Amino acid sequence: MSVRGIGGRRWQRLSVVSVILCVNFMWFLFLRMTPSDETDPSDLQTKYPLLWNHVHTSRTSGGAFYIPPAWQSSSEEVPETVLDAARLAQRLANVSSDRSIAYSEIPLIIHQTWKNTRIDTWTKATRDMVESWLQYAVETPMAYIMWDDDGVMQFMEEFEPEFVPKFNALTRNVERSDIFRILVPKHIGGIYGDLDTHPLRPPATWIEPKDLLPWEDTETGVVYSSKQPVRAIFGIEADCPPDSDSYWRMGYTNPVQLTQWALAAAPGHPVLSRFMERLNVQLDSVASRHSGDLTCPEAQKELHELDPLLLTGPDAVTKAVQSWFNETVGLRWNALTGLHDGGKSKLVDDVMILPITGFSPGRGRYGNMGSKPIDDHDARLQHLAQGSWRSFNLQVEFGKFCRTFFGLCRDWPKV
């Protein structure tokens, strides 16, 4: 084979890459130049009555809330802060078992967070999805808490005062959001869902008798059977054969990886504490190299260079749950795959692991990993992957292309 032939193919590949990158860049510019949704504010009350009544017009400090009237007595005082509303919802949810997800001790309290409660500044897609959460809250009934940025800080100062300096030292808002979604069920309990998630069935029905059945790790022969009430729910985001390269070519760090755009837990579940323990170790390690000061320029630079997917994102959640399972029941992690049993839920101790269809249904042919359509009964929630926290980065986009098509660039940054 001639050197000229090798060089020719190399230039052909580079030409293809260049064309694709140019197309991506032009599409990015088009999206940036496209006008944002401009719904007439006068239409919002008609189109989104629940959002208008319970969120947009809220005068609650720190966010907004809805607590079912059937839960409350006439003597209940109206909460003035979102923190007080969350405490009230927690107390009222404990009154009766029908205020929990079936077969669980997880209270029917929905938590979401955004920078403000002004729905006229939200996108139409966000309004549609949050309205659907509120619809389920009213119909089930469930409590609903919307935490704005001020409410998140109220929460942190109340429940995690010693962690607040580290929380504030983080260089990305998405990392703070990742941490909050772990801490709010840890202290209040309930269901967390990103604003770009859409519930497909009432959360009260997310667990059924079939989900509680014993299951076997076919590689080790160990049978997992638990009679405990479920106290935490996680869903699978990636489900790939562990001996293949498909998972990292799609940008995942584990063959079986959990998502954290939605999760649920009873207050005080130890797996949530395990997440925080691991995070504290990593942050303390950075601080130790900078005289304990995470706010100095050098520490800030080191923190910013950390991959948020690994520090606080899906990989961090996966590693925390994996560590907990290994310590408590000795689980072989990849036994959680749904590739060989049609995608069944798996109860491990008191933690329910939903198959990929649970929180990630309707995936396309590429990267399907056993995901069934959104109208499948096993689909609890749909994630629309708006990724409002992401920004365009040419190196990241090239790395994605390089991994997908060439099986290279495995360790390139993903965000």
- 41-79, pLDDT tens digit by residue? 779 999 999 999 999 999 999 999 999 999 999 888 899
The structure tokens listed for 84 are: 């007080």
- DSSP-derived letter for residue 215 is E
pLDDT score for 392: 58
pLDDT score for 211: 98
Total residue count of the chain as it appears in this document: 415
Residue with tokens 């119909």: 139
The structure tokens listed for 31 are: 């999206």
* Mean model confidence pLDDT for the chain: 89
Q: CA 238 → CA 165, 215, 308, 317, distances in Å?
A: 33, 20, 17, 13
- Closest by CA to 269, choosing from 183, 354, 330, is 183
pLDDT score for 271: 98
**pLDDT tens digits, 390-413:** 555 666 666 666 776 666 666 666
pLDDT score for 413: 65
pLDDT score for 38: 53
When pLDDT is averaged across residues 183-190 and rounded to a whole number, the result is 98
- The larger pLDDT score, comparing residue 298 to residue 31, is at 298
**pLDDT tens digits, 344-365:** 999 999 999 999 999 999 999 9
**pLDDT tens digits, 100-118:** 999 999 999 999 999 999 9
Residues in Cβ contact with 101 at an 8 Å cutoff, skipping those fewer than 6 apart: 108, 191, 203, 204, 206, 207, 230, 233, 264
pLDDT of 142 above 80 = yes
Residue with tokens 């990993």: 369
Q: CA 199 → CA 136, 193, 205, 281, 360, distances in Å?
A: 8, 9, 11, 35, 11
Q: CA 178 → CA 35, 185, 260, 338, distances in Å?
A: 29, 12, 8, 26
**Cβ-contact 104, 231 below 8 angstroms:** yes
Maximum distance among all Cα pairs of the chain, rounded to whole angstroms: 88
pLDDT score for 238: 97
Where do the domains of the chain lie, and which CATH numbers do they carry?
41-384 (3.90.550)
The structure tokens listed for 210 are: 């079939």
- CA dist 367 and 248 (Å) reads 11
pLDDT of 212 above 80 = yes
3-state secondary structure of 105: coil
Cα angle at 303 between 298 and 305, to 5 degrees?
Answer: 100
When pLDDT is averaged across residues 147-163 and rounded to a whole number, the result is 98
When pLDDT is averaged across residues 209-218 and rounded to a whole number, the result is 97
- Closest by CA to 119, choosing from 201, 51, 210, is 51
Parallel, antiparallel or unpaired: strands 351-354 and 232-239 = parallel
Strands of 345-395, DSSP E:
346-348, 351-354, 381-383
